[in-house]
């Protein structure tokens, strides 16, 4: 996505409104000839949802990232709709839809592989008495919202959104953009700003702190000082977020093509620690290569995303947890555990602790273990082992992980080059390559066994 808008576009949008803020008299209404958004840039499915809701008598607007990204002259990946219809009313309009979520009910309308997310206008919780159902909103002792289903009108909804740049609404009825909270001005000035009091909004939902960092990195925007100020103090509130929710949030943070920049901001504002406490502990101890390894891994991931190559969460999490696994592996081997069982124990312990912060599904945690185990097996190239490893279902991921470790000096130089040549060679040549690998000497073989028997006598 282009992160800077053309001068002519911004002149059209802001020349008329640059000195005005959103007021109680209503939003800024930016007509078609001043904002540059075309229906051709909007998903046909999103337009169908808006049209049907409008025809049924409801208000409906394209909102959030779909509007923001088009104004920034990019192409949105998702199109979200905000409407006056309740979730149940939206559900009745679309057979191809379902209501999801308890804390924050939304409707997913599916068109083939495309999903349009539809949310009902939210209101302030002071209006709960007028809400359509009992217990529509609830908070815990720290102020975090446990339920958030108080409905209102579009003015209320704009005030309840997280960031000003995500509170822009496009109407396909009059083709205007509606700006209630100064989002256009913040887009122009390249600023991330929370709507309302930042500390209150972060306490309502601590994940908003991650969204601030994510959009600042993704768009290369500055964080407004008031929005920035409470981040470090309130970072520990992320420990209260359900681990299952945190898994998805980390994917959004670090797999958007700006993972390295996002990581730097997470570290700056102490937001990395509640996500990966074991890794943070080692970073604080200046463990050799740990920082370089994570940074290089994220840089490589960003490069793959830029080239439109596939990236799996398993590989990303394998990078972020490897420093902790490697450190515990070394401790267990020093205590006499054989290498492979030691790795299995290290992986089990690290993942068990990590699940308390971020719930990593087995479909990703199992491949992670294989990637880590391959790091030991890729050193063993004698005989038929090398040929057999090529058939491993996660060989390519393990090989890429090995290259990353070699980049930061964690393994001997040339090992990755050997495996690259081995993959590209004819089977006969592979046999010759494997035969020329130096076999471990007898002393090499005996040393691990001697250590496993226990410590040497004091007089040895």
Catalytic center residues? 78, 80, 162
Query: Is the four-CA dihedral 192, 196, 200, 206 of positive or negative sign?
Result: negative
Residue 417: exposure state from Cβ atoms within 10 A (0-12, 13-18, ≥19): exposed
Q: What is the DSSP string of 98-153?
A: EEE-SSS-EEEEEETTEEEEEEEPB--GGGGGGSSSTT-EEE-TTS-EEEE--B--
Q: How far apart are CA 375 and CA 452, in angstroms?
A: 22
User: How many angstroms separate the first and last alpha carbons of the chain?
Assistant: 66
Pair 159, 180: CB distance under 8 Å:
yes
Backbone angles phi, psi at 426, to 5 degrees: -70, 150
Tokens of 9: 């576009």
DSSP 8-state code for residue 182? S
Pair 42, 35: CB distance under 8 Å:
no
Q: What is the DSSP string of 236-295?
A: GGGGGS-HHHHHHHHHHHHSSS-HHHHHHHHHHTT-STTT-HHHHHHHHTT-TTHHHHHH
375 alpha-carbon distance from chain centroid:
26
Q: How far apart are CA 303 and CA 281, in angstroms?
A: 28
Q: How far apart are CA 290 and CA 321, in angstroms?
A: 10
The angle at the Cα of 145, spanning 144 to 148, to the nearest 5 degrees, equals 165
Name beta bridge partners: 83: 60, 120
Cβ atoms within 10 A of the Cβ of 383, count? 13
Give residue for tokens 């100020």: 229
């Amino acid at each position: 996505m282009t992160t800077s808008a053309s001068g002519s576009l911004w002149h059209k949008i802001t020349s008329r409104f640059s000195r005005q803020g959103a007021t109680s008299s209503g939003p800024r209404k930016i007509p078609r000839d001043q904002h540059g958004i075309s229906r051709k840039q909007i998903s046909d499915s999103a337009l169908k949802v808006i049209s049907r809701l409008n025809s049924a008598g409801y208000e409906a607007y394209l909102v959030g990232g779909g509007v923001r990204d088009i104004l920034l002259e990019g192409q949105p990946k998702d199109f979200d709709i905000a409407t006056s219809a309740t979730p149940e009313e939206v559900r009745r309009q679309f057979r191809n839809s379902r209501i999801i979520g308890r804390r924050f009910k939304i409707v997913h309308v599916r068109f083939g592989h495309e999903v349009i997310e539809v949310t009902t206008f939210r209101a302030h919780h002071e209006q709960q008495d007028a809400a359509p159902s009992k217990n529509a909103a609830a908070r815990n002792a720290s102020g975090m919202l446990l339920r958030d289903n108080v409905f209102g009108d579009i003015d209320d909804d704009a005030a309840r959104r997280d960031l000003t740049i995500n509170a822009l609404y496009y109407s396909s009825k009059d083709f205007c953009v509606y700006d209630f909270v100064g989002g256009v001005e913040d887009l122009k000035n390249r600023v991330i700003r929370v709507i309302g009091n930042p500390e209150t909004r972060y306490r309502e939902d601590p994940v908003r702190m991650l969204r601030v960092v994510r959009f600042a990195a993704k768009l290369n925007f500055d964080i407004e000082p008031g929005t920035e100020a409470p981040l470090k103090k309130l970072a520990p509130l992320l420990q209260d977020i359900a681990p299952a929710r945190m898994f998805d949030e980390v994917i959004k943070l670090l797999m958007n093509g700006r993972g390295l920049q996002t990581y730097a901001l997470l570290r700056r504002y102490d937001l990395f620690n509640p996500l990966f406490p074991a890794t943070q502990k080692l970073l604080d101890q200046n463990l050799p290569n740990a920082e370089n390894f994570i940074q290089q891994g994220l840089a490589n991931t960003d490069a793959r995303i830029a080239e439109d190559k596939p990236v799996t969460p398993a590989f990303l999490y394998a990078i972020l947890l490897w420093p902790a696994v490697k450190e515990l592996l070394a401790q267990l081997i020093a205590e006499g555990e054989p290498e492979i069982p030691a790795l299995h124990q290290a992986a089990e312990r690290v993942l068990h602790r990590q699940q308390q912060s971020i719930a990593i599904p087995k479909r990703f945690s199992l491949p992670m273990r294989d990637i880590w185990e391959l790091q030991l097996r890729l050193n063993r190239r004698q005989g038929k082992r090398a040929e057999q490893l090529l058939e491993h279902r996660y060989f390519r991921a393990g090989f890429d992980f090995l290259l990353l470790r070699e980049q930061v000096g964690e393994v001997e130089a040339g090992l990755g080059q050997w495996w690259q040549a081995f993959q590209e060679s004819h089977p006969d040549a592979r046999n010759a390559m494997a035969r020329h690998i130096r076999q471990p000497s007898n002393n090499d073989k005996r040393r691990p066994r001697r250590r496993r028997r226990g410590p040497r006598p004091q007089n040895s």
